[in-house]
Amino acid sequence: MGIFDSGVGGLTVLAEAARLLPSVRFHYFADSGFAPYGEKPRDEILSRCLAITEDMIHQGAAAILVACNTATSSAIEDMRRRFPLPIVGMEPALKPAVEAGLPGPILVLGTAFTIREPKYQRLLRRFQNTKNIVSLPCPGLVNLIEAGHRNDSLLKDHLRQLLKDHLARDYSAIVLGCTHFVYLKDPLRSLFGDAVQFFDGNRGTARQLTKILQERGLLADNIVPAPNSQDHITFATSGDKNHVLPLCQILLTDLMKTND
């Protein structure tokens, strides 16, 4: 099973998939040499997605999980037309955030690419007449997370600058519309308080992947909750292997320990 992202963000999806699918062998590719996708033109993102998928199929992948909202927005339709195997993508979790019925407005954090893309704009139009929704592009955050910053002063200062016009608003929900942003829950809580609820598409995507693999007969019948073992997961990257691969191991280990 192939899963990829522009870097380490997709590990947040991989952790959910690995819990649900302990019998599946995952090969994770962090395209950190070309990160961040959210600041690249569509043609370049599409080219990377096609090349990575072709390589994963060559290595024997029976399905592909695109663990990146930006890559999904820009490339998944072309990928599905070109490749016959199951391909599952991401979508910002705006629908569950709206359906949660929380009283305050909703803040959606995403890459500039995801926020402006027709795919997200169509999703936004479905709900904007029933709920106060603010969509905020967040440049620079992916770069900091890729460099290993998660809850330090450099990241917090950048996050505070991005959100300076929003800190006084009484948001009840924050949609993490980039898989990298799941790592930001603690610094976001420090800015907005413990009452704010977070929504991301990771668990729903992992469930959709499970459903599709079952329908295609690509799973064993008895799936049980996964232990914290990473024995069925391998990593590769287009970035600095001495930095990215150890970071993948550390981040995934942390993610597998928590359901938050």
Q: Are residues 238 and 188 in the same domain?
A: no
pLDDT band at 16 (very low <50, low <70, confident <90, very high): very high
Same domain flag for 115 and 237: no
Please state, in angstroms and rounded to a whole number, the distance separating the CA atoms of residues 246 and 234: 12
Q: How many Å from the N-terminal Cα to the C-terminal Cα in the chain?
A: 25
98 and 195 both lie in a single domain: yes
158 and 249, same structural domain? no
Same domain, 188 and 215: no
Determine which one of 49, 138, 178, 248 is catalytic.
178
Summarize pLDDT for 167-226 with one digit per residue, the tens: 999 999 999 999 999 999 999 999 999 999 999 999 999 999 999 999 999 876 544 444
> Same structural domain for residues 100 and 194?
yes
Task: Quote the CA–CA distance of 95 and 110 in Å, as a whole number.
Answer: 15
State the catalytic residue, choosing from 49, 68, 138, 248.
68
Q: Are residues 152 and 179 in the same domain?
A: yes
pLDDT (average), residues 86-100:
95
- Domain range holding 40? 2-90+202-256
Whether 26 and 72 map to the same domain: the answer is yes
Q: Which CATH number characterizes residue 164's domain? A: 3.40.50.1860
pLDDT for 259 equals 59
* Residue 138 annotated to the active site: no
Residue 86 shares a structural domain with residue 16: yes
Number of domains in the chain: 2
Same domain, 24 and 62: yes
Last residue of a domain, one of 199, 220, 237: 199
Give the model's pLDDT for residue 150: 85
On whether the pTM is more than 0.85, the answer is yes
pLDDT of residue 13 exceeding 60 = yes
What pLDDT shows up at residue 25? 92
The per-residue pLDDT for 54 is 97
pLDDT tens profile 18-52: 999 988 999 999 999 999 998 899 999 999 999 99
Mark whether 141 and 195 lie in a shared domain: yes
Whether 248 is a known active-site residue: answer: no
Among 155, 184, 199, residue at a domain's last position: 199
- Give the least confident one: 128-142, 149-163, 221-235, 245-259: 221-235
For residues 156 and 233, membership in a common domain is answered with no
Domain boundary (159, 181, 199) is at: 199
